[in-house]
Amino acid sequence: MAISSTQKQDRSTELPPSTHPLDPLNADEIRTTVALLQDAGIAHDKTRFITVTLEEPMKDVLLEWIPDDVLERQAFAVLLDNTDGNTIEALASLTQQKILKHEHIPDVQPAIVLDEFFECEEALKQDKDFQEALRNRGITHFELLMIDPWSVGDYGDEPEQGRRLACALAWTCKEAGENGYAHPVLGLMAWIDLNTMKVIRVEDSGVVPIPGQSGNYAARYFEGKFREAPKPLEIVQPEGPSFSVDGNSVEWLGWSFRIGFNAREGLVLHQIGYSDPAQNSRLRSIIHRVSVSEMVVPYGDPDNNYARRNAFDVGEYGIGLFANSLELGCDCLGLIRYFDAHMATGRGEVMEIRNAVCMHEEDYGILWKHSDWRTGDVEVRRSRRLVVSFIATVGVYEYGFFWYFYLDGTIQLEIKLTGIVSTGALAPGETRKYGTEIAPRLYAPIHQHVFNVRMDMAIDGPNNSVYEVNTRSEPMGPNNPLGNACYAEETLLKNEQDAARNMSLESARHWKIVNPNVTNSLGQPVGYKLVPEVNAFPFSDPQSSVRRRAGFMNHHFWATAYNSRERYAAGDYPNQSDPCVDHGLPDYIKQNRSLENTSLTVWHSLNSHHVVRPEDWPVMPVATIGFHLKPVGFFDRNPAINLPPTSSKGSKNSNDSNCH
């Protein structure tokens, strides 16, 4: 975890001991957990370790914890027994060096791990029926195949119900290392039992000629053909960064939080708070824990080649496992602090992802400005934001998750989508209304990326309430003779079912989380508001399998009473989950618990609607979706009003003046 600019980092091979209850498991702790499970006979040579992660202490325990206290360090593991297909949950005490409990979880399939992808691909390449179907398409170089195993969902028509399945699709390369997604092998799907790694059936719906145009994008294919490059842009911080880091704890210009990471959610932020250092104010809590709890990608073409393409990238695969090792000057720019991640592989070995999380500062233009035309006085302050990010490559797509902290107390999540779109082939002369031809006979179906972000709120304390805010127009009449009047109407969302809500452009709807027990100097309850950005509604039918299994996409906003076990918007085990049973949020809110002046969790669903363009091929430019959390009465005034003027000293085009 070293600071870098252009210099190479020096790293120690020794892992520091965990010093905080929320620190992710280090490599030694993962090895210890695996050994405890093996010694207890719970894990054996046919066991897959789906996840081994920190068992986080309860919220109320952490609120009372002080650094001198010793909390038992625990690890939570999900295991898959390939001999009988059973899923096992286990809890281990690292403090006591023993297994505390373990249990079989019936009728579920845990996430697919990376090891299974590789084994599945190799098994399919060796299958005689699959090879014969490939030869019928003129494909004989099986080593040039690209096999993508997809989760199968549950449509009620699988003859292999109860088995752990993947449905594999194929693409082929003309030469090693090229972009095979330009050459889809359409009409061919194979079903694999992941416990036995046996191909159980091959579906061949007919040969479609393979598109032949290259889709290569690597730099080596453009030698001598590059466009003019931009002039160099350097980020210089001669006095170093404004943040400080102690282990996983970060402080930056009033902000304070902890960085966590796990295989399923990837980056997790804990104990986000703010204090005004100039006022010597106490650290005020805002969010106890926040993460991306789930995402699903439903495709909109009803043809059997595409209709089953939907992936729960968090719950069915784990975006943390697919995190990139970030590179200076490419993924991150400036003076960087990196955080490594340690996770368990499917075989219980330690996997280290170096530079999994990147943290740096960015200039963000003008923060505030006013020119007094009477006196000629001008005051301006520049904005800066702290960026904490990671990027995961899940299948063809890259997802970048960027958390921004601003000097005015705002928190923002921006999700950046890039990578390669999922492709298929068109027969000569064929057109399809469910997608776009992006190259000659190369087809990309319409689809959506629906994310859900889970936020355990703690606005100035543990007990909060949530309001919906709609702007209303006053009818014209004696009280509004010119027809200009409008006002913001706040409605308390008293229980969980009342709080399942959607966006409304007509009323400029947003949601406000307040602490009714703490007021500002104006007597208003302190709060933050969730401000949605670009979003969409789902287009899959409400009774479709994917819509039932991903019920969280039915609403943009949800709120539930805090429960540390209700962590995932589509439930604990979305892989092959039953569409006839409510999972995750639709199930949680059946309890209809009170949301008034209590510990609560806010969930926000973000729907990136993608009608594919030719410009999205061969690698799509970044598309973004996100939201802001903005203070509303949390401060008595603009918290950045006391920011000192920015000096332009050091800029090559400056006269060493102050910006005021």
Instruction: Give the residue numbers annotated as catalytic, written as ranges.
Output: 313, 397
For residue 610, the cross-strand partners are 447
Rounded-to-integer distance, Cα 312 and Cα 317, Å = 7
Write the CA distances from 465 to 118, 215, 468, 473, integer angstroms: 47, 52, 10, 26
Please state whether beta strands 198-204 and 165-172 pair in parallel, antiparallel, or not at all (unpaired).
unpaired
User: Cα separation of 185 and 199, whole Å?
Assistant: 18
Measure CA of the first residue to CA of the last residue in the chain; give whole Å.
37
Paired tokens of 311: 């992936």
Task: Report phi then psi at 649, rounded to 5.
Answer: -60, 135
CA distances from 404 to 144, 385, 512, 630 (A): 42, 6, 19, 12
**Strand 243-246 to 198-204 pairing:** unpaired
Cβ contact 566:610 at 8 Å? no
- DSSP designation for 232: P
Measured between alpha carbons, how far is 301 from 308 in angstroms, rounded to an integer? Answer: 9
Q: E-assigned strands of 536-614? A: 557-561, 600-610
Cα separation, 266 vs 594, in Å, equals: 30
**Rounded to whole angstroms, what are the CA distances from 57 to 28, 197, 283, 575, 581?**
20, 38, 21, 27, 30
CB neighbour burial string for 103-125, b if at least 16 within 10 angstroms, e if fewer: eeeeebbbbbbbebbebbbebbb
Q: Rounded to 5 degrees, what are φ and ψ at 480?
A: -150, 65
Say if CB 341 and CB 352 are below 8 A apart: yes
Sequence-ordered list of residues with C-beta below 8 angstroms from that of 634, at least 6 positions apart, any chain: 284, 286, 409, 459, 460, 520, 526, 527, 528
Q: How far apart are CA 343 and CA 51, in angstroms?
A: 8
Residue count of the chain: 660
Q: Are 578 and 434 in contact (CB under 8 A)?
A: no
Residue 641 has which token pair? 């009003």
Class of residue 339 by CB neighbours under 10 A (exposed 0-12, middle 13-18, buried 19+)? buried
DSSP track, 98-122: EEEEEEEETT---PPPHHHHHHHHH
49: which strand partners?
A: 79
Q: Buried b / exposed e across 36-59, counting CB within 10 Å, b at 16+?
A: bbeeeebbeeebbbbbbbbbbbeb
Catalogue the long-range contacts made by 201-206 (C-beta closer than 8 Å, 24 or more residues apart): 202/127, 202/129, 202/130, 202/133, 203/304, 204/133, 204/136, 205/304, 205/305
Q: Coil, helix or strand for 21?
A: coil
